[in-house]
Chain A
């Protein structure tokens, strides 16, 4: 075992809390989108923003949201 294990304090419950809050926020977004796809896929054909339909807008939005939440998490953890 020539490499020391990193058992630092950064795995404590308090340190995990911001990540878990952001995780559940994304679960809501992802779960909501999947529920829409499963239950009312017809709604995703609507074009409320003019150009692209809701299926594409929400898919792109989920990808963007993952990045935004990741950056927020990094800022929150760096500030501690």
Chain B
């Protein structure tokens, strides 16, 4: 769809971005030493750090991807919310305090605290980089999606704008500014999503009898676009979709419910008949034709599992395993994400780490409850862009006012900025502190460590921009699922066994991290989803039975660690318990 830009929206958006950049330059003075740049001197207050956890964690996948998935497919998007939050239980109860006690700047510090091994540092640094890059892709794709309707610029411009802004944030002040950007973003996100939810409940549900004729978008080989055979223009464009055909009988023939309480709203959606749209793609010599077709579905059908994860409804074993694998990865992946783990080094002790995690769970849990309302609000708003699932939440906001659209878009953009800056921080730490200083053994002064991290941040920013353009057609939640799978497979087995199994050896850790990372990455590259959406090949040509690797590769990581540890004698220094 073509979107009209508004001067107010651009002004609000610009104010957000300039405000964030100003904050970074202002706080840059506090982050000149290595301890300041990488860990904010360990002096961040636990409450600020807790909200910053929310800022770090609530990425484009949560804000844009989950809302879009619920809006287009129903309940299954909410399963992501449940899985994303559940992962924090592992972080709080198992990982938080030990990781704080063992580490200093990076995740590799913690894993290597007992062994002082260059091999561990190398393996973990590479795994940190791989996970960070895979997590960066959906953030950049989300940025590109946001820029189109907000500023009227192409996807590539959004990706480059985020890349340049974030690199500036990280290079200017490191972890201090990153933390405050996350704090502000996390606070604004939960607050404004709460406001949007109240507006949704206040408006209630309305029957909408827009046209239900199918519509086709054709993209010709020369790039020109046709809608139903005519050139696409503002006067002749795809119609927005997503509407209620009929409300429950208890509303006695009214076309509007009026304001509803939270549970009443969900029950009313469940008892309504809703029009959803599906897309089918066909390629021939004239170009790529995508036909969007409406279907009337009961709300009860949309609010049960199986809308997106088809195997839950059809009973296909491979599809069910795919779903189980994803949910396992979401549960295990949170506590293995490098950009989340390094946030434990910004507070002063284990008590502060624990408290900040509880604050983070409260803020993140609140947000995920809101995602259900935002997604269902978008599903029934009549404002969805059928070509872009990631734009559901901002377009929902636009049905209330252009200002709210600008605010939500700007917050979503800041969300991307925040998460990307955290990821680039984690990646730059892995390069400068783990690879250059500890693995290559290049001695660096405090100032050189910071400079090396900044150079790595610039390089990572450029890589992220390229990948954000390459993966533009993916749903961002789906892409984040891959990052969780790799993180959980590569990092969690080593971390958990180091804490709970005294027989763990350094060879076991190196093998578990390496095998977990290579196996999960290889599985993803050989999966049906990658064959279809990245290589453009048939799904049937894929080499693995389902797309999400966690169900196989997480246990594989544990198994490899145990076997290799048992085969390698512990050195005297390794023989003590943690």
Q: How many Å from the CB of B95 to the closest CB on chain A?
A: 10
**Interface residue tally on B, bucketed by range:** 35 or more
Task: Confirm or deny: B1 has a beta carbon within 8 angstroms of a beta carbon on chain A.
Answer: no
What A residues does B101 contact at CB under 8 A? 5-8, 10-11
- B267 at the A interface (CB under 8 A): yes
Instruction: Among A30, A38, A55, A69, point to the contact of B320 (Cβ < 8 A).
Output: A38
Q: Which residue of B lies closest to A58 (CB)?
A: B82
B361 engages A51 (CB within 8 Å): no
Q: Which residues of B from 26 to 53 have beta carbons under 8 Å from A?
A: 33-35, 39, 41-42
Known A-B contacts A6-B350, A19-B94, A45-B304; the reply to A67 vs B89 at CB < 8 A is: no
Q: Is the CB of B358 within 8 A of A11?
A: no
Shortest A67–chain B CB gap in Å is: 5
Is B444 an interface position by the 8 A CB rule? no
Chain A residue at minimal CB-CB distance from B98: A11
B42 touching A23 by the CB < 8 A rule? no
Digitize A26-37: 1 where CB-to-B-CB distance is under 8 Å, 0 elsewhere. 110010011001
Give the docked Cα–Cα distance between A19 and B96 (Å): 11
Complex Cα distance A45/B74, Å?
13
A56 vs B323: C-alpha distance in the bound complex, in angstroms? Answer: 18
Closest residue on chain B to residue A33 by CB atoms: B82
Task: Tell me whether chain B's interface is mostly helix, strand or loop, or mixed.
Answer: helix
A59 touches B349 (CB 8 A): no
How far apart sit A3 and B300, CA to CA, in the bound complex (Å)?
56
B256 interfacial contact with A, CB 8 Å? no
Instruction: Give 1 or 0 for each of A1-21: 1 = CB within 8 Å of chain B CB.
Output: 111011110110001000110
Residues of B within 8 A of A1 (CB): 104
Question: B179-187, B305-313, B392-400, B469-477: which lies at the A interface?
Answer: B305-313
State whether A34 and B104 are in contact (beta carbons under 8 Å apart), knowing that A6-B350, A19-B93, A56-B266 are contacts in the complex: no
Alpha-carbon distance A63/B82, docked complex (angstroms): 6
Q: Which residues in chain B, 286-336, are within 8 Å of chain A measured between CB atoms?
A: 300, 303-306, 312-313, 320, 323-324, 327, 331
Residues of A within 8 A of B578 (CB): 11
Contact B92 A19 (CB under 8 A): yes
**A63 and B93 contacting across the interface, CB-CB below 8 Å:** no
Q: Within the assembled complex, what's the spacing in Å between the Cα atoms of A52 and B331?
A: 25
Q: Please tell me which one of the listed residues B86, B267, B312, B348 contacts residue A30 in the complex, with CB atoms under 8 A apart.
A: B86
Docked pose: A74 CA to B353 CA in angstroms: 11
B-chain residues with CB within 8 Å of residue A33 when the two chains form the complex = 82
Report the Cα distance A7→B104, complex, angstroms: 11
In contact, B75 and A56 (Cβ under 8 angstroms): yes
Known contacts A11-B98, A56-B372; A44/B92 CB under 8 A: no
| Interface of A, helix, strand, loop or mixed by DSSP | helix
- B86 and A73 within 8 A (CB): no
Which of B34, B327, B362, B372 contacts A67 (CB under 8 A)? B362
The bracket for how many chain A residues form the interface is: 35 or more
> How close is A37's CB to chain B, nearest CB, in angstroms?
5
Instruction: Tell me if B79 is interfacial: C-beta within 8 Å of chain A.
Output: yes
B544 at the interface (CB under 8 A from A): no
Any A CB within 8 A of the CB of B368 = yes
Distance from A76 Cβ to chain B, minimum over Cβ atoms (Å): 11
Q: Which chain A positions have C-beta within 8 A of B34?
A: 2
B85 interfacial contact with A, CB 8 Å: yes
Interface centre among A27, A52, A64 (most CB of B within 10 A): A52
Please give, as numbers and ranges, the residues of chain A lying within 8 Å of B459 by CB-CB distance: none
Q: By the criterion CB–CB under 8 Å, are B267 and A52 in contact? A: yes
**Interface residues as binary, B516-552 with A (CB distance below 8 Å gives 1, 0 otherwise):** 0000000000000000000000000000000000000
Tell whether, in the assembled complex, residue A51 and residue B266 are in contact, meaning their CB atoms are under 8 Å apart. Answer: yes
**CB under 8 Å from chain B, chain A span 46-80:** 47, 50-53, 55-56, 59-60, 62-64, 66-67, 69-71, 73-74, 77
**Cα(A64)–Cα(B82), bound, Å:** 10
Structural contact, B303 and A53, CB atoms closer than 8 A: yes
Chain A residues near B357: list those with CB within 8 A: 70
Question: In the bound complex, do residue A23 and residue B89 qualify as a contact, i.e. CB atoms below 8 Å apart?
Answer: yes
Among B62-103, those with CB < 8 Å from A are 75, 78-79, 81-82, 85-86, 88-90, 92-94, 97-98, 100-103
Q: Give me 20 other A-B pairs in contact (C-beta within 8 A), A22-B89, A37-B79, A56-B266 excluded.
A: A3-B42, A5-B104, A5-B113, A7-B102, A8-B350, A20-B94, A22-B93, A23-B94, A30-B86, A30-B331, A38-B320, A41-B305, A41-B306, A44-B305, A53-B303, A62-B85, A63-B81, A66-B86, A66-B361, A70-B358
A-B contact pairs, 18 of them (CB 8 A): A2-B446, A5-B113, A6-B349, A11-B101, A11-B102, A23-B93, A37-B323, A38-B320, A45-B304, A47-B270, A51-B266, A53-B270, A56-B75, A56-B303, A63-B365, A66-B89, A70-B89, A73-B93
Which 7 pairs across A and B sit closest by C-beta, in order of nearness?
A23-B93, A19-B93, A51-B267, A10-B350, A70-B358, A26-B89, A70-B361
